[in-house]
Amino acid sequence: MKADAEALSPEELLEAEAAVDLPEIGARDRYDALMKVVTNRVTVRAFDPDFEVPREHFEMILEAARHAPSGANAQPWHFIVITEPELKEKIAGYFVEEQRRRAKLKMKFPTPDYRGLATAPGFIVVATDFRWVSAFPVLKDDTSDLNRMYRENAERILLQSVAAATMSAHLAAAALGYNVWWITAIGQEAAQEAMKPLLGIPEELSVLDIMAFGPPAKAPYKRWRKPLEEIANWNRFDPAHHMTGEELEDWIQTRRHRVMFKDASKVD
Ligand SMILES: Cc1cc2nc3c(=O)[nH]c(=O)nc-3n(C[C@H](O)[C@H](O)[C@H](O)COP(=O)(O)O)c2cc1C
């Protein structure tokens, strides 16, 4: 197979997609190469604004998203690459506005500085179409509680599907050497309504998040992770892993801001 995907004809591309390159089970070198990318995917919230992401990198990143799994293979995602600085400024403005609103509402969420968004040389808006929910197991035209339960799960399937594609894109960006920023703080109606016409996004669609990436403005730091034994359970859920409501609240009050904005080595 040719190394350069761009050099492949459409037929060759189909053939390449159909062929699955099966590694030997337990191939450590492939795992290690993947983990290098996984552990180097680190969030930053300000970038080098003078860097220009080549179009090819955008395409490579979205190519990774394209191969993500999705419920019913519906692939319910749309990606809008933003390259015009004025658009970036406008969108960043909605987030800065949201930052202010949260401060006023006294949400006490340690909201980051969204001004850094306008500095992102890589800027991709991720949208979905909630009508795809009907591609998953739901009772058609039914308003029963039973169907509400199915619809709720169908929405989760949809969101997990888009998250899978978004994660693939983030990993591809990390593999290319970029730092990334996954931003979801746009759920609120006002920002959605402002952003959709600005980007020509049809009314039925929803903007889910923004993927920003690029070289970092300053040295990135690795954030704290729960130890493996705390998240892994074998055959039965380990009751020691269950937090009471109080413990959870305490974690949010005392630890959340530290794990979000501090170097892992400075978090006990
Ligand atoms: C689903 C999801 C939503 C996120 N939303 C935001 C967001 O709205 N704003 C933000 O600054 N960071 C957001 N982040 C980034 C997280 O804060 C970040 O991934 C986390 O602190 C761990 O840091 P790391 O990415 O460097 O490992 C989000 C990440 C994910 C996966």
Greater confidence, 215 or 136?
215
Greater confidence, 243 or 145?
243
Q: Indicate the range of 74-88, 93-107, 194-208 predicted with least confidence.
A: 93-107
Q: Is the CB of 87 under 6 A from ligand 1?
A: no
Q: Indicate the range of 72-76, 105-109, 231-235 predicted with least confidence.
A: 105-109
Which pLDDT score is estimated for 234? 98
Mean pLDDT of 215-232: 96
Cα distances from 149 to residues 135, 156, 159, in angstroms, run: 15, 11, 16
30: left (phi over 0), alpha (psi -120 to 50) or beta: alpha
Residue 36 has pLDDT above 90, yes or no: yes
Q: Which two tokens stand for residue 190?
A: 């006002």
Sequence-ordered strand ranges (E) for the chain = 77-81, 122-129, 179-183, 205-214
Structural contact between residues 76 and 162, judged by C-beta atoms closer than 8 angstroms: yes
Pocket test residue of 184, 208, 222, 224 for ligand 1, highest count of atoms within 8 A of CB? 184
Domains and their CATH numbers in the chain: 49-220 (3.40.109.10), 222-268 (no CATH)
Q: How many helices (H) and strands (E) does the chain have?
A: 9, 4
Q: Rounded mean pLDDT of the chain?
A: 90
User: What distance in Å separates the CA atoms of residue 120 and residue 210, rounded to the nearest whole number?
Assistant: 11
Pocket test residue of 35, 38, 43, 161 for ligand 1, highest count of atoms within 8 A of CB? 43
Which pLDDT score is estimated for 6? 63
Which pLDDT score is estimated for 112? 86
Q: Measured in angstroms, how far is the CA atom of residue 5 from the centroid of ligand 1?
A: 31
- Could you report the per-residue pLDDT of 55-96, keeping only the tens digit for each? 999 999 999 999 999 999 999 999 999 999 999 999 999 888
With CA atoms as reference, report the closest residue to 73 among 123, 131, 136.
136
Residue 4 has pLDDT above 60, yes or no: no
Instruction: Output the CA torsion sign for 231, 236, 239, 244.
Output: positive
Residue 137 has pLDDT above 90, yes or no: no
- Ligand 1 atom closest to the Cα of residue 112 is 11
Helix (H, G, I), strand (E, B) or coil at 81: strand
List Cβ neighbours of 129 (8 Å cut-off, separation of 6 or more).
76, 78, 204, 205, 206
With CA atoms as reference, report the closest residue to 187 among 101, 82, 81, 266.
101
With CA atoms as reference, report the closest residue to 95 among 207, 222, 200, 261.
207
Q: What angle do CA 115, 120, 123 make, to 5 degrees?
A: 115
Q: Measured in angstroms, how far is the CA atom of residue 212 from the centroid of ligand 1?
A: 11
Which pLDDT score is estimated for 43? 97
User: How would residue 187 be classed by pLDDT, with cut points 50, 70 and 90?
Assistant: low
User: What distance in Å separates the CA atoms of residue 193 and residue 201, rounded to the nearest whole number?
Assistant: 10
Structural contact between residues 216 and 116, judged by C-beta atoms closer than 8 angstroms: no
Q: Reduce the secondary structure of 178-201 to three states and give it as a string.
A: CEEEEECCCCCHHHHHHHHHHHCC
Which pLDDT score is estimated for 1? 43
